[in-house]
Chain A
Amino acid sequence: MEQPLDQTTQSTPTAAFRDQPLYQALLLGGACAIVSLLLVVGNLGTHQTIADHLTADKLAMLAQVLPQSYYDNDPLNDTEQLSSPVLSGPATLMLARKDGDITALALQISIAGWGGIIDMIMATTPDGELLGVRIISHKETPGLADKIERPKSDWITGFDGASLANTPEQQWAVQKDGGRFDQFTGATITPRAVVKGVHQGLLLIEQWRQQQPQFQQPSSVAITGNEQEILQ
């Protein structure tokens, strides 16, 4: 079906000039210059809006685990960095305060799943009881392991109310491994990773609490020797 090549190759640049190396260089350089300019303009025009959206997304994510009624400060900017070798990156602890007192703790962590890093956020009461856990992003098999996402399944709400105090260490596992949390058919590695991440997050929070003067009262959970090892 090829039509006769459109010969109206507008005689703007004459055929002879078009074959010159100079023309090729100018064309390539010009194209790159125009394109760079476009990208700069596009980036300037959008980066603030995009950053605002990302902050709003973060706040919305935080709101799912930590109702706005818990705090009157800006937890996204009242943070501390924690770290653990088990996690795939630094963990960000966000402090929710009301009238200056800590009312809840939110922790954003990332842990290695099946297909890549799973980012999640969890919130606990000051006593270390989970208010909720949500997955922020992941690269697990779609249609199979993405049941860890909230709109697709209720699985993640199974963590609500759990704490180091009411769930002994060996229970922090999927049922297949003798723990208290469900796995789903066909995917075990993903829920295992999430359970491990949540457990590790709680341990980090507990460790942090014990370093804070306002929590110096002996906590209800004593970190066992084994858990201490995990933390190191």
Chain B
Amino acid sequence: MNQYRQIFREGMWDNNVAMGQMLALCPLLAVTTSATNGLGMGIASLAVLMITNIMISAVRGVISPQVRIPVLIVLIATVVTMVDMAINAFLHDLYKVLGLFIALIVTNCAIFGRAESFASKQPVHLAAADALSMGLGFTWVLVAVGAMREIIGSGTLFANASLLLGSHFAWLETEVIPHYSGILLAILPPGAFMALGFLIVIKRMIDRRLSSSSNDGLVTIQSHC
């Protein structure tokens, strides 16, 4: 049980994909113009990471270290393509919203990072837990960066969420600052760097406070990939 707690702690905070490992920044910076877009990208990445982690963990005994990188890349690219085709064919309405994100996952080195540093060395159940934890950790950062940029840039939060999640979630759409013309910078690419930068600063400050104020054996785990 403790193992799972550790895995979730790593994914959600200590070794978070975007804030700890600093991976997957390309899709993160590109799509987070709104909280809804961030959520869409997060869900798509989580699903792909889940499939690839489980699959790679299942075949880890066969893959030899010398050619593991091309084999992993081929497997991941295939999974992304298959997911793309399957959603396009069978969940076409969802595809119209998520389509953009799924193609971007190919550029997501976090998927490869987890395959390489975790799934190819660990049993399937732990690899699945790792995928869930890393995926959720990535999702919350995407939503946080998206929300910061959306509130500052256009004064709304979760705008068009019902297009992604269905009309049951229309209540998520809020106008935070009415009649607000928005600060363009937040929506443009530099805004993404700034929002992520502030988040990382906040995380580091919290980490420092935690490690200096407690002597109860809390050890900061260094990122390792």
Binding site for B on A (CB under 8 A): 1, 3, 5-6, 8-10, 12-13, 18-19, 23-24, 27-28, 31-32, 35, 38-39, 42-43, 45-46, 49-50, 53, 57, 141-144, 151-152, 185-186
Closest to A53 in B: B92
Do A49 and B70 form a contact, CB below 8 Å, given A9-B61, A27-B62, A141-B187? Answer: no
Stretch of B78-86, B133-141, B210-218 with 4 or more beta carbons under 8 angstroms from chain A: B78-86
Contact B89 A49 (CB under 8 A): yes
Please measure, in the bound complex, the distance between the C-alpha atom of A12 and the C-alpha atom of B88, giving whole angstroms.
38
Chain A residues, CB < 8 A from B71: 27-28, 31
Chain B residues, CB < 8 A from A53: 88-89, 92
Contact B61 A10 (CB under 8 A): yes
Do A19 and B82 form a contact, CB below 8 Å, given A6-B122, A143-B154? Answer: no
* Distance between B47 CB and nearest chain A CB, rounded to angstroms: 16
Contact B33 A143 (CB under 8 A): yes
Chain A residues, CB < 8 A from B126: 3
Q: B161-185 interface mask toward A, CB cutoff 8 Å, 1 = contact, 0 = none?
A: 0010000000000000000011010
Chain B residues, CB < 8 A from A45: 89
Contact A38 B64 (CB under 8 A): no
Contact B121 A6 (CB under 8 A): yes
Q: Which of A6, A23, A185 has the most chain B CB atoms closer than 10 A to its own CB?
A: A6
Please measure, in the bound complex, the distance between the C-alpha atom of A180 and the C-alpha atom of B159, giving whole angstroms.
29
Query: 18 more A-B contacts (CB under 8 A) besides A144-B153, A185-B182?
Result: A1-B7, A6-B60, A9-B61, A13-B62, A18-B64, A19-B64, A24-B66, A27-B71, A28-B70, A31-B74, A38-B78, A42-B81, A46-B90, A53-B89, A141-B188, A142-B34, A142-B37, A186-B181
Contact B86 A42 (CB under 8 A): yes
25 contacts between A and B (CB under 8 A): A1-B221, A6-B60, A6-B121, A8-B123, A10-B61, A23-B64, A24-B66, A31-B75, A35-B74, A35-B75, A42-B86, A46-B85, A46-B86, A46-B90, A49-B90, A50-B85, A53-B88, A57-B96, A141-B188, A142-B187, A143-B33, A143-B34, A144-B187, A151-B163, A186-B181
Chain B residues, CB < 8 A from A5: 121
Q: Which of B10, B62, B154 has the most chain A CB atoms closer than 10 A to its own CB?
A: B62
Please measure, in the bound complex, the distance between the C-alpha atom of A50 and the C-alpha atom of B86, giving whole angstroms.
9
Chain A residues, CB < 8 A from B221: 1
Does B67 sit at the interface, judged by CB under 8 A? yes
Chain A residues, CB < 8 A from B223: none
Please measure, in the bound complex, the distance between the C-alpha atom of A23 and the C-alpha atom of B63, giving whole angstroms.
10
* Distance between B223 CB and nearest chain A CB, rounded to angstroms: 12
Chain A residues, CB < 8 A from B6: 1
Chain A residues, CB < 8 A from B75: 31, 35
Contact A144 B184 (CB under 8 A): yes
Chain A residues, CB < 8 A from B37: 142
Chain B residues, CB < 8 A from A32: 74
* Distance between B85 CB and nearest chain A CB, rounded to angstroms: 5
